[in-house]
Amino acid sequence: MSGRQRTTSLVDPTGRNSSPGSHGGFRITRDKDGGTVTTVLATTGALPDTAEEISYSNNKVIGNGSFGVVYQARLVDCNELIAIKKVLQDKRFKNRELQIMRKLDHCNIVKLKYFFYTSGEKKEEVYLNLVQEFVPETVYRVARHYCKNRQTLPLIYIKLYMYQLFRALAYIHSLGVCHRDIKPQNLLLDPDTAVLKLCDFGSAKILVAGEPNVAYICSRYYRAPELIFGAVDYTVNIDTWSAGCVLAELLLGQPIFPGDSGVDQLVEIIKVLGTPTREQIREMNQHYTEFKFPQIKPHPWSRVFRARTPADAISLTSQLLEYTPGSRCTPLQACAHKFFDELREPGIKLPNGKELPKLFNFSAQELSQNANLQSVLIPEHFRNATSNNTTTSSSNSNSNTSNNATSTSQSSSTSQQTSSAVVSTSAS
C-alpha cells in the first residue's frame, strides 16, 4: 500500500445518488435488455479540453482500496470496455493524478480517455471519475498463476514485460514524472498480445530539484533504500529500484525483499546487498547520522537466484539494485541491456505465434535521455523496414501526384475540347 493518503469512495457506481458535477449532469436510462445506461457530459483526456457526452453500461466493481474504487463498464456507442477510477476530490487542490495523466501519451501507459465529476452522498463531496482504457490482466496475477502451479514465468515474457516497463519509465522520467508506486499490481497486461501498460498515477509527482517530497511513499517490498533512510530529496531513481525488485521477483517467483515493516525491509535488503557504507548512506540521505549497523557482507548475486537463471538477467538486476541512487542504470540503459537482445532479433514471435508488441517505435522524447543508445535500441531490421515503408509511401505519393497531374492534364484537354464544341455550337 502506498504511503500517500487516499480516500475510499463508498458511493453508488452508477451515480444514482449523485447530483450534477462541475462538467454537467448525468441521466440514467435503461437499454433494451433492462440494463442501466449512464450518460454523462465528460471532458476528453487529451488536451485541449473538449466536452463530449458519453454513455456507459454494465458497471461492476473490479478493484478498491484507500485510493477509491475502480469499475469496469462498456461504452455504449463503440462497445469498448473501459475502467472508471473514482476518487474523492479535495476541491481546494487540483488532482495531481489527472494533471499528470493528461500530459502522457505512450503505448506502454494506460490511456486516459475522459474524466468527469460527480457529487457524493454528503453535500460537499465531489468525486473525480477517470475513464481509462480497460486492460484485462496484471503482471501480479499472471505471476501468481505460475507460482501457484509451481512454475516460473517463461523468460520471453519476463523480457517483454520488463522491457515495456522500462520504456514507460524512460518516457515519464524524461518529463520529470516519478511514478512512486511501481509494483506488479500496477502493470496491466493484455495476455493475448503481451502488451504491458503502466497504470495508477495516484502517487505520481513531477519532482523538482530543491523541493522536498514525502519519504513515506511506494509499496513496502518495492521501496528504495533512500526512502527507508528518510530522504525527501530523492529522484526518479526510486522507480528504477522498484523496477529492479519487480524483475528479481519475476525471476525468483517471489518478492526479493519481503520485509514485514519499514525497518525489516532494510534488513532484507542488507541480507542481499550487505551493509551500506557511510558514503552510500550519505548518497541516499545526506542528513542521516545513524551509522550503527551490523557489518554483513553482500550475498553473491549468483546465489540469490536459481542456478539456471541467465547471467545477463542477473547482471541487469544487480545494476538496478544499487544502494547509491545515481549508480543505478537508467530505464533507457536497461532497455539497451543485452538481457533484451533476443527481442531485437528479426522474425521473433510470441509463443502463441503472434507478432511482438511495438517495441522499437521510440519517440524523440524517449530518446532525449540518451541519444547515443539509439543504434542499440532500434535494431537494423526495424530501421530498414521503416525506411522501406517511408520510401514506398513516398513513391506512392509521387505516383499519385503524377497520376493527378496526368488526370488534370487530360481533364484540361477535355475541358478545352468541350469549350471549343460549345463555342462552335454557339457560333452556328
Burial annotation 345-371 (CB, 10 A radius, 16+ → b, else e): eeeeeeeeeeebbebbebeeebbeebe
The reply, when asked if residue 86 is annotated as ligand binding, is yes
pLDDT by 10s per residue, the chain, length 428: 444 433 333 233 334 333 333 344 678 888 777 788 999 999 999 989 999 999 999 889 999 877 789 999 999 999 999 999 999 998 777 899 999 999 999 999 999 999 999 988 888 899 999 999 999 999 999 999 999 999 989 999 999 999 999 999 999 999 999 999 999 999 999 999 999 999 999 999 999 999 999 999 999 999 999 999 999 999 999 999 999 999 999 999 999 999 999 889 999 999 999 999 999 999 999 988 776 788 999 999 999 999 999 999 999 999 999 999 999 999 999 999 999 999 999 999 999 999 999 999 999 999 998 989 999 999 999 988 877 665 555 555 555 545 554 444 444 444 444 333 333 333 33
Query: Under CATH, which architecture does the 41-133 domain have?
Result: 2-Layer Sandwich (3.30)
Question: Is 83 within 8 Å of 59 (Cβ atoms)?
Answer: no
What sign results for the dihedral spanned by CA atoms 253, 156, 332, 98? negative
pTM score, two decimals?
0.85
Give me the residue spans of the domains in the chain. 41-133, 137-369
- Among candidate residues 268, 239, 240, 266, the one with its CA nearest the CA of residue 254: 268
Catalytic residues: 181
Among 1.10.510.10, 3.40.50.12280, 2.40.50.140, 1.10.287.110, name the CATH number for the domain at 137-369: 1.10.510.10
Smallest CA-to-CA distance from 306 within 152, 413, 423 is with: 152
